[in-house]
């Protein structure tokens, strides 16, 4: 299957990067190369783009898509949380811009055997990086009822988390839960019919929660933002596209902290903590898709773009 993914908030992201033709840029979630293609075509021979992704299918697709810019593009299979290491190995100190698009790609959702979607029956997988040994099946069949409840409650924000966890644990005593549809049926049974009718597909929140837990998506994001801001050159920008409130909250909080890291009590006349601002938040409110984009790409519905600009004082 061809790797297809329509880049969300593409024009807004490119505009906010303030691309310099001879600059150095990093796409930390390369995917099919949509954002990277638009960056690369704006670079001259002196410019450079580093594309990072942990998905082998994405690497193959992006390599093909960006082949016309091979002289200025370097593609690395890794997780963006290791950006420090990647840049050090390439001999790059500072970069002029970083892009993160945290959505699951259309390819990953539409490729049944990857096990990301509740719409097709497939093995419970959900790994972003297929070199990882643990799969969604291991979480569903191995986590305690309390841990399953915690994951579904915290990452899926599902008010029926307790009952869903209870149904999963009861069912796996009879047989191992192997497929997406087996899990679907258990989730449906745990949610009263009147709530199922009103809130879209009943499995959506649980699948999101299991995927986030398996790939440690929120931990990776939380632990990476400050590091990436540190790699920006003076005036460099970081653009992050999120798709649910938990991610957006992390980005908003980390950006705000990097803008104002002072820990002194508000009534202190001068700062004595020594924490210095690393720059400013460009987007006081997140940028969201236009009505036109929402019509053309339904998967852009919950996306939000936040931008931070580095300032070396």
pLDDT tens digits for range 168-215: 999 999 999 999 999 999 999 999 988 877 667 899 999 999 999 999
Q: Position of tokens 């790994």?
A: 127
Predicted confidence band of residue 266 (pLDDT cuts 50, 70, 90) = confident
pLDDT for 78-87, tens place per residue?
999 999 999 9
Of 67, 85, 106, 109, whose CA–CA distance to 26 is shortest?
85
Write down the pTM of the prediction: 0.93
pLDDT for 28-55, tens place per residue?
999 989 999 999 999 999 999 999 999 9
Q: Where does the chain hold its CATH 1.10.150.170 domain(s)?
A: 113-216
Q: What is the number of other CB atoms lying within 10 angstroms of the CB of residue 265? A: 8
Per the CB < 8 A criterion, the answer to whether 305 and 16 are in contact is yes
How deeply is 134 buried, as exposed, middle or buried, from its count of CB atoms within 10 A (0-12, 13-18, 19+)? exposed
Predicted confidence band of residue 105 (pLDDT cuts 50, 70, 90) = confident
Rounded to 10 degrees, what is the CA torsion of 219, 221, 305, 229?
Answer: 150
Q: Position of tokens 């979480």?
A: 139
Predicted confidence band of residue 4 (pLDDT cuts 50, 70, 90) = low
Looking at the predicted structure, is the pLDDT value of residue 312 above 90?
no
CATH architecture of 113-216: Orthogonal Bundle (1.10)
- Identify the pLDDT of residue 298: 86
Looking at the predicted structure, is the pLDDT value of residue 304 above 60?
yes
Predicted confidence band of residue 104 (pLDDT cuts 50, 70, 90) = confident
Q: How far apart are the first and last CA of the chain?
A: 49
Per-residue pLDDT, averaged over 252-259, amounts to 97
What class is the 10-107+219-310 domain? alpha beta
What share of the chain has pLDDT > 90, as a percent?
Answer: 85
For residue 17, the surrounding DSSP H or E stretch is helix 10-17
Mean pLDDT of the chain: 94
Per-residue pLDDT, averaged over 6-22, amounts to 95
Q: Position of tokens 């939380």?
A: 222
């Amino acid at each position: 299957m061809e790797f297809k993914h329509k880049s969300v908030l593409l024009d807004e992201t490119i505009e906010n990067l303030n691309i310099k033709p001879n600059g150095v840029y990093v796409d930390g979630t390369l995917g099919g190369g949509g954002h990277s293609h638009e960056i690369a075509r704006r670079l001259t021979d002196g410019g450079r783009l580093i594309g990072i992704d942990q998905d082998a299918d994405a690497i193959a697709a992006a390599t093909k898509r960006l082949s016309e810019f091979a002289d200025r593009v370097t593609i690395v299979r890794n997780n963006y949380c290791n950006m420090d290491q990647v840049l050090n190995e390439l001999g790059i100190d500072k970069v002029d811009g970083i892009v993160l698009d945290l959505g699951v790609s259309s390819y990953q959702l539409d490729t049944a055997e990857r096990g990301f979607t509740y719409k097709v029956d497939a093995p419970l997988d959900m790994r972003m990086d297929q070199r990882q040994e643990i799969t969604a099946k291991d979480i569903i069949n191995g986590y305690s009822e309390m841990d399953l409840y915690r994951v579904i409650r915290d990452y899926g924000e599902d008010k029926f988390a307790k009952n869903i966890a209870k149904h999963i644990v009861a069912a796996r005593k009879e047989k191992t839960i192997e497929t997406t549809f087996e899990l679907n049926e258990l989730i449906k049974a745990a949610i009263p019919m009147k709530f199922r009718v009103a809130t879209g597909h009943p499995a959506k929140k649980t699948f999101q929660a299991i995927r986030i837990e398996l790939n440690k998506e929120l931990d990776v994001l939380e632990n990476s933002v400050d590091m990436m801001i540190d790699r920006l050159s003076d005036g460099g920008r970081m653009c992050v596209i999120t798709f649910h409130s938990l991610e957006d909250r992390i980005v908003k909080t980390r950006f705000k902290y990097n803008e104002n890291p002072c820990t002194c009590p508000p009534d202190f006349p001068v700062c004595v903590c020594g924490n210095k601002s690393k720059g400013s938040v460009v987007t006081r409110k997140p940028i969201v898709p236009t009505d036109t984009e929402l019509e053309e790409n339904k998967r852009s519905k919950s996306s939000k773009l936040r931008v931070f600009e580095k300032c070396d004082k």
